Structure 1
Amino acid sequence: MQSTEAHMKEKQRREKIEIIFSHRVKGESYFHGSSYQWKNIVYQNYNRIQQNELEVEQLISKIEKAGIRFTQHRSLIHYPVIDFVKYIAKIYKEPSKYNNHI
């Protein structure tokens, strides 16, 4: 019984991750290369962002250090990053610290 329940939870978790990563974010074209790369960095740092342990500017620096280049000025990169954080919060039904932004 528990293994079936655990299997269902794992399946739901994977489905949510699939939904999150397949979502098109306005401003995705501001990043060179695969959107999965920068989205993965944002996703991995989502909890730190929500808990105010990491600011968007620091996250953008992490994206840059990972070798992801931008097609727009760095100041514009905030918008798709914040949008993606808000979308993750929406999927997980959590309040986003950025609900009043943009």
Structure 2
Amino acid sequence: MSITKAAMDGKLPCLVCVPEHLREVRTADDFGHKPIPWLAGQTVCARCKTRSRRYSLDEWGNDHSHGPYLDPVLWPCTSAIVLGLVPRNTE
């Protein structure tokens, strides 16, 4: 039996085998939306990306477009809030 299946049945490993702070039970309901560390201490969603283009000027002032790039979305993403993975901010 996998740890995920056991947890879904209400069974968890004992605290001697796996301390509570090390337990990680993934649910199928997160659809890959989970926080991961990113640059400069930011936290982003492992799944969500936005498309963007970058522009630059050459030495003659001509505009050049680069991309498209896939940029990460800061955590919590909208999907994580809708799925109930993080509490909604009601303020």
TM-score range, shorter chain: under 0.3
Q: Give the structure with the larger helix fraction.
A: 1
Q: Give the structure with the larger strand fraction.
A: 2
Indicate the structure (1 or 2) with the bigger Cα radius of gyration.
2
Task: Kindly indicate whether structure 1 or structure 2 has the higher relative contact order, using CA contacts under 8 Å at least 6 residues apart.
Answer: 1
TM-score (ref. length: structure 1): 0.25
